[in-house]
Amino acid sequence: MKRIALLGMPNTGKSTLFNRLSGASARVGNWPGITVDLMSAKILAGGHIAELIDLPGLYDLHGFSDDEQVVRHFLSNHAVDLVIIVLNSSQIDRQLSLALQIKQLGLPTTLLLNMQDEAKRSGISIDTQAMSEQLGFPVQTISAKYGDGCPQALQLIGQILNQPATISSPQDVAKLLEVDNQIEQTMHDIVKHAVQMPVKLNDETTDQIDRILLHPWLGLPIFFLAMFLLFQFIFTAGKPLQDGMAWALDLFRTEAFEPLLSGLPVWLNGLLLDGIYNGIGTVAAFVPIIVLFFLVMSMVEDSGYLSRAAFLMDSLMAKMGLDGRGFVMILMGFGCNVPALMGTRVMRSRPMRLLTMLVIPLSLCSARLQVFLFMIATLFVAHQAAFIMFGLYMVSFLTIFLTAILFKNQYKSTEPFILELPPYRFPTPRQIWLRGWQEVKHFLNRASKFIVIGVVLVWVMTHYPTDVAPASVGTIAGQIGQFFAPVLNPIGIDTQLAIALIFGFVAKEIVVGSLAVIYGLQGDALSHQIAMNIDWVQGMSFMLFTLIYTPCLSTIATMKSESKSSLFMWLSIVWSLGLAWIISFIFYQGARALGL
Amino acid sequence: MTTLSNLTPGQHGTIHAIHADQGLYQRLNALGFRIGKQIALIRRASFNGPLHVRIGATDIILREIEAQRIQLDLA
């Protein structure tokens, strides 16, 4: 099978092109010697099935960030039949350096100039013929977003793959990568010959939007208002979907599963219906809201607004020893902490990276969101819900700030903060859909894996030994709950909630599912039972603990692999558990002292 | 002669020298900071936040401390 490497500078739409070429068939691949997950997909080009690998974005083949090293390492260890370089047409004057660096490797190469649509609007015209002659390999303009030029590009790829070529071996490439040379001069020459650019360029629309969104006084309030409205939109639009889903799941149980499984032994029937079905069903009811959440998040991410948020927040973040990029990672953590932790690779200074990694697990991820939506719907009336939810997001920020301030002296850094501001881009529906779908697939995959195992375990622990009432003190679960009682009673968490918390350590997706299994109930009946067992102060304390303590095993594993330090991983676990307990304790005892 | 950090929004100049260590220099270079290039200050974030500058078609944000390392000739 032929192998094609896709590489380019950040913000050039490389991933959009990858998604377009692969049509969402992408999977995460394992590459020997490379610690990062690289996406790859099989594509059909020129009668070949070729493997297309999406390498990380890089500015400079000879640079020294993690991503740049990954690319070099990949090219030095794996034979490739074609390198596709993706650059941004409107910034070709400076990005061409990357194409020249790749050219020196002697690999079959083609250059795709993306964002042709934007370049055209800015009055840039590129003579691909002239550029191709100078570079010595084919050049094609495309718009990955709208698909213009993509069929031609694919054809071009096929042609190159069909040509017999003398391919540099990875060893040759490795040798060449050691030397750096006269790239800059050549780059200037080619731009001078092949590119005509208006002297002063600016995108009027982006400028106008920036004038408002980056306004010295209005910028931050607008940002927070926009975030609040987005979340409000997600919950308002998601509520009917969620109710519909719960209704359908209940209907399935009474109309299909109960009659179907009635012949089974009682214990198996219990395990299947009260265990697995209730557990998964309770979690599945939240899937529509999570889908909506990721669709909106990916839209914000692709729009270019996040870099603006980094600009607005940098001075505040600097006071906490972090920078604007850290703020963006925290926002990404609202989706899922794991990619946010991996995103810290853009930081070159280790102390800065570690400090950012220490605070990311405190950002309220979508799995925790699910627990809160459930608890809030159970314990509060509708008009309080939005405020409680907003309050939890604020607590998330406060714990982040507190942690950063307390630890910033241990993790001092002088990392420069330099970031490119891309023009605003309105993602196409296809782009939003693909991004959103990737996230949802990832979420469902994780959720289903953990939840099935989790709910089965919870069911077993709450039903054995069989001679006592389910979930009572006599069961395994009851015993474990008793064991932790001295620590958890002072923060108002009873035995049932304790079991849910313990399983929540594996993944927060299990928490709601395990509550369903512990009580043996589903839907409204479950909510009523919980509302009878605990009051809102206990519920709030439970939510605070859930918010702050270790998010999930995947986060812990990522923490260890990214920091390459077990000590740091333990610091993160111990700190978050301790902080969770202290804050829940202050809240619970404070509220009780006030007579609530 | 002045530094990028001294510009007022709307003002522009030509890069005269970049006083930075190897790593920072390379990074600035890759983003288009090259001697002889024209650079404009678009805005500053409040509370002494970062500077928003433009080189050619590229918009970049950087902190005051890095901007002090970039020497300009005023046009």
Residues of chain B in contact with residue A216, where contact means CB-CB under 8 angstroms, are 43-46
At which residue do the structure tokens 């983003």 appear? B31
The pLDDT of residue A282 is above 50: yes
Best of B35, B61, B69 to mutate (most A CBs within 10 Å, chain A): B61
**CATH code 3.40.50.300 region(s) in chain A:** 2-196
Distinct helix (H) and strand (E) counts, chain B: 2, 6
pLDDT at A33: 47
CB neighbour list of residue A1: distance below 8 Å, 6 or more residues apart: A48, A49, A50, A51
Range of the domain at B25: 2-74
Residues of chain A in contact with residue B46, where contact means CB-CB under 8 angstroms, are 216-217, 219, 315
**Is the Cβ pair B31, A94 closer than 8 Å?**
yes
**Is the Cβ pair A315, B48 closer than 8 Å?**
yes
Please, which residues 22-51 of chain B have a Cβ atom closer than 8 Å to chain A?
Answer: 23-24, 26-28, 30-32, 42-50
Q: Per-residue pLDDT averaged across A21-44, rounded?
A: 67
Residue A285 binned pLDDT confidence (cut-offs 50, 70, 90): confident
Best of B24, B25, B27 to mutate (most A CBs within 10 Å, chain A): B27
The pLDDT of residue A43 is above 70: yes
pLDDT tens, residue by residue, A96-113: 989 998 888 888 999 999
Which chain A residue has its CA at the smallest distance from B52's CA?
Answer: A311
**Is the Cβ pair B63, A417 closer than 8 Å?**
yes
Residues of chain B in contact with residue A124, where contact means CB-CB under 8 angstroms, are 57
Mean of all residue pLDDT scores within chain A: 85
Which chain A residue has its CA at the smallest distance from B34's CA?
Answer: A94
Biggest CA–CA distance in chain A, Å, is 87
Cα first-last separation, chain B? 10
pTM of the model: 0.74
The C-alpha of A480 sits at a distance from chain B's nearest C-alpha, in angstroms, of 51
Closest by CA position to A18, among listed A33, A48, A38, A1? A38
Q: Parallel, antiparallel, or unpaired: how do β-strands A82-88 and A2-8 relate?
A: parallel
Q: Check which CATH number belongs to the domain holding B54 and give it.
A: 2.30.30.90
The C-alpha of A331 sits at a distance from chain B's nearest C-alpha, in angstroms, of 19
Which chain A residue has its CA at the smallest distance from B51's CA?
Answer: A311
Phi-psi region of A11 (alpha: psi -120 to 50; beta: other; left: phi over 0): left
Cα–Cα dist B44/A216, whole Å: 8
Q: Per-residue pLDDT averaged across A419-428, rounded?
A: 83
The pLDDT of residue B65 is above 80: yes
At which residue do the structure tokens 């993306």 appear? A114
Q: Which residue has the higher pLDDT, A70 or A594?
A: A594
The C-alpha of B35 sits at a distance from chain A's nearest C-alpha, in angstroms, of 12
The C-alpha of A311 sits at a distance from chain B's nearest C-alpha, in angstroms, of 6
Cα A559 to Cα A194, A338, A456: the distances in Å are 47, 8, 28
- Kindly report the CATH number that applies to the domain delimited by A2-196: 3.40.50.300
Q: Domain count of chain B?
A: 1
Residues of A with CB under 8 A from a CB of B: 59-60, 62-64, 90-91, 93-94, 97, 122, 124, 197, 201-202, 210, 214, 216-217, 219, 307, 310-312, 314-316, 318, 324, 348, 416-423
Is residue A358 within 8 A of residue A407, CB to CB? The reply is: yes
Cα–Cα dist B32/B54, whole Å: 10
The pLDDT of residue B71 is above 70: yes
Element (H, E) at A161: helix A150-162
The C-alpha of A333 sits at a distance from chain B's nearest C-alpha, in angstroms, of 23
Cα A109 to Cα A84, A134, A171: the distances in Å are 6, 13, 18
The pLDDT of residue A183 is above 70: no
CA pseudo-torsion sign A177, A183, A184, A190: negative
Cα–Cα dist A336/A367, whole Å: 8
